[in-house]
Chains A and B, each alone.
Chain A
Amino acid sequence: MTTTEQAVEEESWRGVAAEDNEELTNAVGLRLQARSRALLRSLLRPRLGMCLLAFALVVAENIVTLSGPLLVAEAIDVGIPAAIDGRTTVLTWCVAGYLATAIGSGLLRYLFVRVVATVGQDLLLDLRGRVFRHAQGLSLSFHEKYTSGKVISRLTSDLESIEDLLDIGLDGLLTAALSVVGIAILMLTLDLPLALFVLAGFVPLLLVTRWFYRTSNRAYRDTRGGIAKIIVQFVESMNGMRAVQAFRRQERNETIMSGLNGRFRDANQRALVVLAKYTMIVRLVGNLSLAAVLAIGAVRVVNGGLELGVLTAFLLYLRRFYDPLDEVAMFANAYSAANAALEKISGLLEERPDVAEPAEPKPLPAAADGREVRFERVEFRYSADGPVVLPEFDLTIPAGQTVALVGETGAGKSTIAKLVARFYDPTKGDVLLSGVPLRSVADEDLRRSVVMVTQENFLFSGSVADNIGLGRLGASRAEIEAAAEAVGAAEFVEKLPEGYDTDVRKRGGRLSAGQRQLVAFARAFLADPSVLVLDEATASLDVPSERAVQRALETVLADRTALIIAHRLSTVLIADRVLVVDGGRIVEDGSPQSLVDQGSGQFADLHNAWLASLA
């Protein structure tokens, strides 16, 4: 009763989300499996030789290991009687042989483990590189809908589940399967009736194993889901601790956490009990077979139908026959986790970038004072069946011109800016840079020519200098400092405990939003692009910083093309030309002065309202 209440409770506070795609139809499930199998094949193909070597090693090891009890049987049945007669050769050979199998199997196991690990690690490295490069290559539209958290887990926890399988599961299963088969064959050749008896006990065990595999799969999936929810709840509480404390969310949080914690505990208990049942049954069948073999074997030895040594060998084999089954438990968990991970990873790898690198890039002509940006019959929508964001339009920005985009939130200003930086491709028409369509410009050339600075000012771990230096690979320290000086960032940087070498800490946590923005500006300045796009880039600066940036802009913008989105008119007024955007259309176009002089129109109204606010 209470658990259902909790479940309902949880559903309601969590809210509704679009993709709860955990529940899969059969058809989709099959397609997913086919997709992940194809990925697995492509990973294994280049390592086929090593895989075969590993297989050969494990077969050899099993043969060597399994010959041990045979030698014991031989020693008891042949060696001892011969030794009693004074001939110790057979006995000596048997013992020496046993010793050799011990050393041999140890050595072969060592080699096998090393080979499997090398294959596994190479495969992981390959997969890691592929997923990383792929994620980096995907367009921003993908990253916006796929949330950062999911991409991160594809590259971390999902890859770790695959590593876990390679680590604990795979060689365990291979060894278990091979030794069960090997022992079965040996027993059959040693003594058919006794072997059939043992194998008959194995049949119900296989059924139980199948039951266990399914049940534990479900139980382990619950534990994984449970801990994932705990992690989300925990991390979000810690990251939002200010709000949690200020709004007294602690107790509410504890109720939620204790629900999640309780469900995880129960799932864990279920998994433990399933495992307990399974190991009990395996051990029970094993021990009862032992008793039965003892009974039948003893009677047959007494009646002279069976050698004592063969019975001994049987008894020794029996233990080994049932032991590997314990590994099935670990394998089942690792396998189902890795399988789920592989499905998700193959899904990510299936995504195609909307903005693809050109197959045959065209070079950009040399440019001294900026570049011309031209929109030719451009139309844009975010997805093929989505609404039109920008209806077809033409626009030419001559080289060296500074253009300000003005308009309400959602009018389409940022979209225009992102098209220039080729974060998206237009649905129709082309954006041309110096007459070359952006789709044909190599990414490296494009990034050298066009740089976009947004309000989002992400810093990477490392020093302040590292973060500025990101603007241009191989920039010298003097150039980095000059860039900081130029945008007015030098003042605060020099006050930091270690100046330019100060570690910005995780995600720039050491700097304020305004300071991070100044670093982003310095970075863009250092990149020295011929086209600069600023999307609300001064919004988080305080007034003195903004003043510094504004002054810097006046010189920086002189010899390059610029597209500026700003809601502060002071920034807009430094532009040569203003475009007023409304509902995706350019409704006004002219110099700031000419638009104001018109007396009516959005820009003139905005300007008047602003003048009034200053009074």
Chain B
Amino acid sequence: MGEEPGHRNTRGSGIASLRRIGPYLRPGRTKIIWSGVTAMLAMVCGLTIPLVMQRILDGPVAHHDTGALPWLVLLVAVLGAAEAGLFYVRRKLIAAPSTSAEAELRADLYHHLQRLPIAFHDRWSSGQLLSRAVSDVSALRRFIAFVGIFFVVNTITLVLGLGVLFVLSPVLGLIALCGALPLIGLSTIYESRYSVLSRRAQDQQGDLATTVEESVLGIRVLKAFGRGPALGKRFLQQARELRGTELAKNKVFAALWAVIIVLPETAIALMLLAGMLSIVHESMTVGTLVAAITVATYLRWPTDSIGWLLAETNQAATACERYWEVRDEPITITDPDEPQPMPSTVTGRVRFEGVRFAFTGDDGDRTEVLRGIDLDLRPGETVALVGATGSGKTTLTALVPRLADVTGGRVSIDGVDVRSVRLADLRAVVATAFEEPVLFSASVRENVALGGEDVTDEQVVEALRVAKAMEFVEKLPWGLDTRIGEQGLSLSGGQRQRLALARAVVGKPAVLVLDDPLSALDVHTEAEVERALRSVLHGVTALVVAHRPSTVQLADRVAMLAEGRIVATGTHSELLAENEDYRHLLSTMDTELAGEVA
């Protein structure tokens, strides 16, 4: 099925890319081939029926001799039943391979995406990826189930049917051919015009969806400033543009439809004229004419579907390209070829040695954010990382669990380079909490345990206690089983962050990396979480990004990041006393005002 004649006829940059879905068709290859064969056989049955009709009209009816009639009628019934049966068999055969291929394509995309580096995900919006996982993949299913097969079958039917017409009567055949050729041409032109407009409509629909999303997510801002009406105007403007495109699309569609009616019917009228005249001159029988017209009617679908099938094939090819564009992205953060084992007991000594990191921007420019970081975290020590906005603090934390890889130098845990152990082993040792806590639409238990399959309820509860989250979880209507997240109960910022902290401590990791997880908590909760963390994280090495003095005070030591290097380390009070830049960064009005009020 890999090489279809239709493909060679089609001009489209990406038709060749359709070959890449080949492996997904292999398991269902036999069924797919048989499905094609049954489609062909059904067409043959359908085309034979008019020929038998001709025999009936010209034989028993014309000669007033009903002797052969039962057999001929039986033949029509058998052919008709066979055609119907084959229809069923074709659809039934193709159902499994096409839907399975779709599921496999989607699963493999998902698998690949979950392993692509965070840098990739920062670049691609989830919407773009979603359209590949849903609409592109189902366009491929349609192609496998329908378009591919009918491209072949309809082409053959058309040739065969015209052949039959020529055999019945060369004149009628010629007329049908003259009707079919411009129809194929015209419908192809219309389809290509239609797909241009379709794409435009899709884009406009996307813009409209963005406005809708913003109008809902930004409802507080809109209400606070009374800007709802202004956005409403923009929305209506966009909706009107979409309406315009949809109507333009419809105009092309309506014209195509009119052509699809007028051209073949004109051909039939001409066939009628030629046929009648031949009957008058007794060079043709009524049976032949009726058969010819029935065949011509039968050929209408194969004829006018060609343009549509071409458009669908192009669309499938585009979908395929878009799909592989993502699948071809290299997974740059992988398990090493020869992984070293993690020490059986990890003490949690984390060392950054001459660590460098460079981003590659949208325009391909490389910007080096980290330019030689040297930092040594002793086992059990908590180090706060401070620095101005954009100094690379978050990037530095991402290097420990290998959400990004260094571009120079190395990061090691207990002397083992993080890149030389298996990712799963590394991430079992290092746990992370992020600035913005993400919840999944799942139970509280699932949100805390996340990947861990052997995490017990006791461990989940323990972690929730540590993060001071148990008190509110207990009050939820179904406790640990309560669904939270977008599809469930919504939680406050502080509650979400406490859950994210529970998530980080559930596996009792040796190393904890916290990207300022306390910023959204209010004074009381923040203090509670801090206290809990301090007591339980005894014996855990922690790197904590901090914006505020209260967070810094959690740490044994502070490291200040500037210009891509660690420019100072020491305790909070040491640095406050010694370092002018540090004072600027961390001394709040609180300290300045303290004297005035006291």
Interface residues of B in 99-154 (CB under 8 A from A): 99-100, 102-103, 106-107, 110-111, 113-115, 118, 121, 125-126, 129-130, 133-134, 141, 145
Q: Are A308 and B134 in contact (CB under 8 A)?
A: no
Instruction: Quote the shortest CB–CB distance from B382 to chain A (angstroms).
Output: 18
A91 touches B484 (CB 8 A): no
Whether, in the assembled complex, B268 has its beta carbon less than 8 Å from a beta carbon of chain A, the answer is yes
Report Cα–Cα, A291/B81, bound state, in Å: 10
Query: Which residues on the A side are within 8 Å of B276 (C-beta)?
Result: 75, 79-80, 83, 91, 95
Contact indicator A570/B286 (Cβ below 8 Å): no
The answer to whether A56 has its CB under 8 Å from any CB of chain B is no
Query: What chain B residues lie within 8 Å of A515 (beta carbons)?
Result: 389
- Least CB distance from A113 to B in Å reads 4
B95 and A243 form a contact (CB under 8 A):
no
Q: How far is the CB of A126 from chain B (nearest CB, A)?
A: 10
Asked if B216 and A135 make an inter-chain contact with CB atoms under 8 angstroms apart, the answer reads yes
Let me know if A143 is at the binding interface, CB within 8 A. Answer: yes
Which of these, A140, A152, A248, A543, contacts B428 with CB under 8 Å?
A: A248
A17-B488, A254-B110, A264-B103 given; A234·B133 CB < 8 A: yes
Check B280–A83 contact: CB distance below 8 A.
yes
Most chain A CB inside 10 Å of its own CB: which residue of B87, B423, B436: B87
A452-B73 contact, Cβ under 8 Å, with A272-B99, A294-B56, A409-B494: no
Q: Are A250 and B280 in contact (CB under 8 A)?
A: no
Point out the residues of chain B lying under 8 angstroms from A13, CB to CB.
442-443, 445-446
- Distance of A144 Cα from B60 Cα, bound (Å): 78
Residues of A within 8 A of B99 (CB): 265, 268-269, 272
Q: Of the candidates A102, A125, A492, which one forms a contact with B269 in the assembled complex, judged by CB atoms under 8 Å apart?
A: A102
Write the nearest CB–CB distance from B19 to chain A, whole angstroms. Answer: 23
A252 touches B239 (CB 8 A): no
Query: B261–A105 contact, CB under 8 A?
Result: yes
Q: A15-B443, A308-B57, A456-B220 are in contact. Are A461 and B210 (CB under 8 A)?
A: yes
| Shortest Cβ distance from B427 into A: residue | A248
A428 within 8 A of B: no
B272 at the interface (CB under 8 A from A): yes
In the complex, identify which listed stretch (A177-185, A279-287, A369-377, A578-586) lies at the interface while the others stay far away: A279-287
Interface residue ranges of B560-598 to A (CB < 8 Å): 584-591, 593-594, 597-598
Give complex CA distance A109, B261 in Å: 9
Residues in B whose Cβ lies below 8 Å from that of A140: 219-220, 223
> How distant is A524 from chain B, measured CB to nearest CB, in Å?
8
- Contact string, A29-49, partner B, CB cutoff 8 A, digits 1/0? 000000000000000000000
The answer to whether residues A156 and B243 also contact, given A114-B251, A248-B424 and a CB cut-off of 8 A, is: no
Which residues 412-465 of A have a CB within 8 angstroms of B? 421, 423, 443-444, 446-448, 451-456, 458-461
> Once the chains are docked, how many angstroms separate the CA of A128 from the CA of B107?
35
Q: How many residues of B contact A (CB 8 A)?
A: 176
B597 with A236: CB separation less than 8 A: no
Residue on A nearest B591 in the bound complex, by CB: A614
Q: Does A148 contact B (CB under 8 A)?
A: yes
Q: Kindly state the separation between the CA atoms of A468 and B435 in the bound complex, as whole angstroms.
A: 25
Q: Are B265 and A16 in contact (CB under 8 A)?
A: no
Interface flag for B477 (CB, 8 Å): yes
Which residues of B are found within 8 Å of A206, using beta-carbon distances? Answer: none
B272 touches A95 (CB 8 A): yes
**Chain A proximity of B22: nearest CB distance (Å):** 20
* Contact indicator A265/B103 (Cβ below 8 Å): yes
B253-282 interface bits toward A, Cβ cutoff 8 Å, 1 = contact, 0 = none: 111011101100110110011001101100
Contact B53–A294 (Cβ < 8 Å) = yes
Query: With the chains together, A106 CA to B261 CA distance in Å?
Result: 5
Tally A residues with Cβ within 8 Å of B: 171
Contact of B88 among A129, A236, A269, A276 (CB under 8 A): A276
Q: Verify B493–A455 contact, CB threshold 8 A.
A: yes
Q: Mark A296-326, 1 if CB is under 8 A from B, else 0.
A: 0011011000001001100110010000000
In Å, the complex CA distance between A103 and B453 comes to 69
B330: shortest Cβ distance to chain A, in Å?
16
Interfacial chain A residues near B442, Cβ < 8 Å: 13-15
Asked whether any CB of chain A lies closer than 8 Å to the CB of B364, the reply is no
Cα-based distance from A178 to B53 in the complex (angstroms)? 28
> Which residue of B227, B250, B424 is within 8 Å of A117 (Cβ)?
B250
**What's the Cα separation between A79 and B275 when bound, in Å?**
12
* Among candidates A113, A125, A230, A269, residue contacting B239 with C-beta atoms closer than 8 Å: A125
Say yes or no: A105 contacts B216, CB within 8 Å: no
Q: Annotate B491-509 by CB proximity to A: 1 below 8 A, 0 otherwise.
A: 0111000001001000000
Q: Is A387 an interface residue (CB 8 A)?
A: no
| Contacting residue for B481 out of A16, A258, A268, CB 8 A | A16
**Does B535 belong to the interface (CB within 8 Å)?**
no
1/0 contact string of A531-564 vs chain B (CB within 8 Å): 0000010011011111100100000000000000
In the complex, 12 of the A-B residue pairs with CB atoms within 8 angstroms, ordered by the A residue number, are A99-B269, A110-B258, A136-B219, A241-B121, A248-B424, A265-B100, A284-B81, A294-B56, A294-B73, A455-B520, A461-B214, A546-B588
**New A-B contacts (8) at CB < 8 Å, excluding given A308-B61, A443-B226, A512-B389:** A242-B434, A246-B403, A272-B91, A287-B76, A287-B83, A292-B73, A298-B57, A570-B593
